[in-house]
A and B are shown apart, each in its own frame.
Chain A
Amino acid sequence: MIYFDNGATTFPKPRSVINAVTGTMLRNGANPGRSGHKMSVRASEIMYNCRQNAAKLFDLENPENVIFTLNCTQALNTVIKGTLKKGDHAVISSLEHNAVLRPIEAMKERGVSYSVAEVVEGDDDKTLDNFRHALRENTKLVVCTHASNVFGIRLPVERIGALCRIYKIPFCLDAAQSAGVLPISLKNSCIDYLCTAGHKGLYGPMGTGLLLINTEKTPDSLFQGGTGSFSSDRKQPDILPDKFESGTPNLPGIAGLNEGIRFVLSRGVNNIEDREMRLAQRLYDGLKRNREVVLYTQRPQKHTHVPVISFNLRERDSEEIAALLSDRYNIAVRAGLHCAPLAHEQYSTQYSGTIRAVMSAFSNEAQVQSFLYAVNKISKNAKK
Chain B
Amino acid sequence: MNNNLILFPSMTAVLKAREVLRRRGINSRVIRTPANLRRRSCGYSLLVKRGFDEAVSLIKNENIKTVGIAAVDLS
Contacts and interface: CB of A to CB of B under 8 A. Distances in A.
Pair from one complex: yes
A231 B41 contact: yes
Interface residues of A, number: 25
Contacts of B39: 232
A44 B9 contact: no
A51 interface: yes
B16 A228 contact: no
A66 to B, nearest CB: 9
Nearest to B29: A41
A228 B11 contact: yes
A239 interface: yes
A31 B41 CA distance: 18
B60 interface: no
Closest 6 pairs (CB-CB, A-B) = A36-B32, A33-B11, A229-B10, A48-B15, A231-B42, A44-B11
Interface in A202-259: 227-233, 237, 239-242
B9 A237 contact: yes
Contacts of A242: 9-10, 12
A123 interface: no
B65 interface: yes
Contact of B10 (A33, A45, A51): A33
A64 interface: yes
A32 interface: yes
A237 B10 contact: yes
B44 A36 contact: yes
A229 B41 contact: yes
B70 interface: no
A41 B30 contact: yes
Interface residues of B, number: 18
B2 to A, nearest CB: 23
Given A229-B9, A230-B9, A233-B40, A239 B65 contact: yes
B13 interface: yes
Interface string A32-56: 1101100001001101100110000
30 contacts: A32-B11, A33-B10, A33-B11, A35-B32, A36-B44, A44-B11, A44-B15, A47-B12, A48-B11, A51-B12, A52-B19, A63-B12, A64-B13, A228-B10, A228-B11, A228-B42, A229-B9, A229-B11, A229-B41, A229-B43, A230-B42, A230-B43, A231-B40, A231-B41, A232-B39, A233-B40, A237-B9, A239-B13, A239-B65, A241-B12
Contact of B40 (A64, A227, A230, A241): A230
Nearest to A43: B11
A303 to B, nearest CB: 35
Nearest to A41: B30
Interface string B39-69: 1111110000000000000000000010000
A45 B44 CA distance: 13
Contact of B16 (A64, A229, A232): A64
Contacts of B19: 48, 52
A240 B10 CA distance: 9
Contacts of B72: none
Nearest to B62: A62
Contacts of A64: 12-13, 16
